[in-house]
Amino acid sequence: MPKQSSTLALFSILAISLFSGKVVAQDAGEGTDTAASAPATTMESASSKHVARALFTSEVQNREPTDTITSLSNDKNKIYFYSELTGLGGQTVIHRWEYQGKTMGEVKFNVGGPRWRVWSSKTLLPQWTGEWRVSIIDGSGNKVGEGTFNYTEAGTPSN
């Protein structure tokens, strides 16, 4: 990929303020990291041919998640959803953040290649405890993957 094109594609940041929470997104573009060096998926629809990895993490460094989160206590207020997409080049893909059956935010990504890594983040309010879901929606409106995590009261033992 030409340097100018990859520089433009690597980091596009979109901030959406919704329901007092903040959703931030980044397109990460293509890279050379292998799936073997990354944490295991927490995606429920693991059979998706378009989602190689999908997981929640506390941080993204060098376009890779630093850990895998399945439960987060409400003394922390930020979480990232990371997904590695394949075969969706040229489409717009959405991370749809859902809580208690309500859409709390949607983040759109323009997929620029055959392998594209994207992530979005959500700033959570302490009272938003319970199960959270992020659905990955392709350009045709189909859910191609999803992940869930539990937001718990601080001091509550996690399963």
Residue 110 domain-assigned?
A: yes
Q: Tell me, what amino acid is at 159?
A: N
Q: Report the 10 Å Cβ neighbour count for 140.
A: 7
Average pLDDT, the chain: 78
Whether residue 49 is contained in a domain is answered as yes
Report yes or no on 158 lying in a domain: no
Residue pair 134/95 in contact by the 8 Å Cβ criterion:
yes
Strands (E), the chain: 13-18, 21-29, 51-57, 60-61, 64-65, 71-73, 78-86, 92-99, 102-110, 115-123, 130-137, 143-152
What are the pLDDT digits (tens) for 94-127?
999 999 999 999 999 999 999 999 999 999 999 9
Give the pLDDT score at 138: 95
The verdict on residue 105 lying in a domain is yes
pLDDT at 12: 32
Whether 143 is covered by a domain: the verdict is yes
Q: Decide if pLDDT at 44 tops 80.
A: no
Task: Please check whether residue 134 lies inside any domain of the structure.
Answer: yes
d(CA 41, CA 44): 9
Q: Give the pLDDT score at 155.
A: 81
Work out the average pLDDT over 131-151: 96
Q: Is residue 135 part of a domain?
A: yes
The total number of structural domains in the chain stands at 1
User: Which residue pairs from 89-92 have beta carbons closer than 8 angstroms and sit at least 24 positions apart in sequence?
Assistant: 89/113, 89/114, 89/116, 90/139, 91/138, 91/139, 92/139
**Residues of the domain holding 52:** 3-32+42-152
| pTM metric for this prediction | 0.73
- CATH number for the domain that contains residue 50: 2.60.40.1930
In a domain, 157, yes or no: no
| CA distances (Å), origin 137, targets 5, 50, 130 | 25, 10, 22
Q: What percent of the chain has pLDDT above 90?
A: 66
For the chain, what is the radius of gyration of the CA atoms? 15
